[in-house]
Copies of this chain bind each other. A is one copy, B any other.
């Protein structure tokens, strides 16, 4: 079952939160290939956000190839395919790690504390 939560006050834009959470759900196997996603309207209603925002999130997922739209039927989890080369994936990972480490360092956290926070984050993800 697909459980999505959005934090309106966050610095991360809403449509991005939706994209990330759906990607994570698909990546972790929580939703299987071929399964339908909630309709734009229903998800928008559930999260109390603008339908345009959900539509934009779905469009981004389609553009990335992790979701397919079937005219008139809805959106479905696509066959998993590698879009990025390994080098590109690593580059993107490093690009995400850098700012996070910079922030943590200036807050006075050590490498161990950072890794601990990540483990804790994963535990929370697993539970919910």
**Chain A residues with a Cβ under 8 A of chain B:** 8-13, 16, 19-21, 23-24, 26-28, 60, 63-66, 68, 70-72, 76, 78, 80-85, 87-90, 92-109, 111, 113-115, 117-119, 121-122, 125
Is the CB–CB distance between B102 and A19 below 8 Å? yes
Best-buried of A19, A90, A98, A109 by chain B (most CB within 10 Å): A98
Bound Cα distance A70, B81 (Å): 30
- Number of copies of this protein chain within its complex: 4
Measured between C-beta atoms, what is the minimum distance from A84 to chain B in Å?
A: 6
Is the CB–CB distance between A23 and B102 below 8 Å? yes
Is the CB–CB distance between B70 and A106 below 8 Å? no
Measured between C-beta atoms, what is the minimum distance from A114 to chain B in Å?
A: 6
Is the CB–CB distance between B102 and A100 below 8 Å? no
Contacts of A11 in B (CB 8 A): 95
Contacts of A71 in B (CB 8 A): 13
Measured between C-beta atoms, what is the minimum distance from A28 to chain B in Å?
A: 6
Given the interface pairs A82-B87, A84-B85, A88-B83, the reply to whether A104 lies near B109 with Cβ below 8 Å is: no
Is the CB–CB distance between B99 and A20 below 8 Å? yes
Given the interface pairs A99-B16, A101-B121, the reply to whether A106 lies near B9 with Cβ below 8 Å is: no
Given the interface pairs A92-B107, A115-B115, the reply to whether A97 lies near B121 with Cβ below 8 Å is: yes
